[in-house]
Structure 1
């Protein structure tokens, strides 16, 4: 009997721990944390539950791995990888909104994480930590551009409010409106200091 093939072309015999985490991550984004059960994931991947237990002790270990991935895959990690000046990194984060290949995915994941956090104290701690890290990092970039502490913190909050709102508002499928809104929000959030620093 042949090996059962997954939809992406890989076979069940080659499934890795990362395959399971990735499948759980997508399920979390699409359907929420209540859908993260071993049987459903195994069916989606085209394998038996035995494959899961080869890589994980239990469901809790998988959920921990999903949390770790979300914690690592931050907007700021991408901004740091892009490099450049503080102004360049601010603009990179702002442009994520219009450059994303899957504009609704990020918003859906944020909503799923926060819904999960309301039911699980451990998840709530991770979400709080990630939020604070995001704001601290971004406020630091604004300070590098010459803004006061208070102004930098306010602009950092505006930046993330803008990024995440675009992932959950349905009208952002209108490309023209999205570009117009992006230009307006970019001028508002950046202010004069970032524009000057980027020159």
Structure 2
């Protein structure tokens, strides 16, 4: 018997990325338990069949969501560090990523951390990503003249502070954040802030 070709789903033409982005939006707004196939399909105004055109299961979607988070929310930090070999320039670039919040989504990070409390595999990936980010920051402190051991500790302090900033849902204006940067720079690096500013 000849196998019939699979029919494309009716309704809006959705790509794989559309489903991943919808899952991200739901994760951030309502948590991992709300990321359900039928709920996402209803939001798009399509049947579940449209979902299964791109994914075999909810589990596959969740894996794609984690991959998307790992790629997008760490890429900006990688690029910031790779932009220069000068520690001051690297520090500025990383701070710009965190202050501007354009290429890095704090809410996405926080949602994944909440998810990790319920899933060992997610927690393991989170630890791996956190370690990579700390290593990136450690390299900046080495370029600022600190030895390896001190750089590692300073990187942890900087990163843990930033994670805590998001966890506590601190609300500050951009102007207020910029005003405190010289103090953070001095405390975190042990160096006098550059005369031309941090950003």
If the length of structure 1 is used for normalisation, what is the TM-score? 0.79
- For 1:101-128, what per-residue CA distance to the aligned partner results, in whole angstroms no more than 9, with x for missing partners? 599x41x222221221121111111001
Q: Partner residue of 1:100?
A: 101
Runs of 4+ in 1 over 6 A off after TM superposition: none
Report the structure, 1 or 2, having the larger helix content: 1
Contact kept in structure 2, 1:86 and 1:142, CA below 8 Å:
no
Any stretches of 5+ residues in structure 2 without a counterpart? Answer: 1-9
Matches within 5 A, 1:24-103: 24-73=23-72, 74=74, 75-80=76-81, 83-87=83-87, 88-101=89-102
User: What number of residue pairs does the alignment pair up?
Assistant: 184
Q: Partner residue of 2:149?
A: 150
CA gap of 1:171–1:131, structure 2 versus 1, over 3 A, is closer
If the length of structure 2 is used for normalisation, what is the TM-score? 0.79
Any stretches of 5+ residues in structure 1 without a counterpart? Answer: 5-11
Q: Partner residue of 1:17?
A: 16
- Whichever of the two has the greater Rg, that structure is 2
Greater relative CO, 1 or 2 (CA 8 Å, sep 6+): 1
**1:161 maps onto 2:163 in alignment:** no
Q: What is the rounded CA distance, in whole Å, between the counterparts of 2:126 and 2:181 in structure 1? A: 26
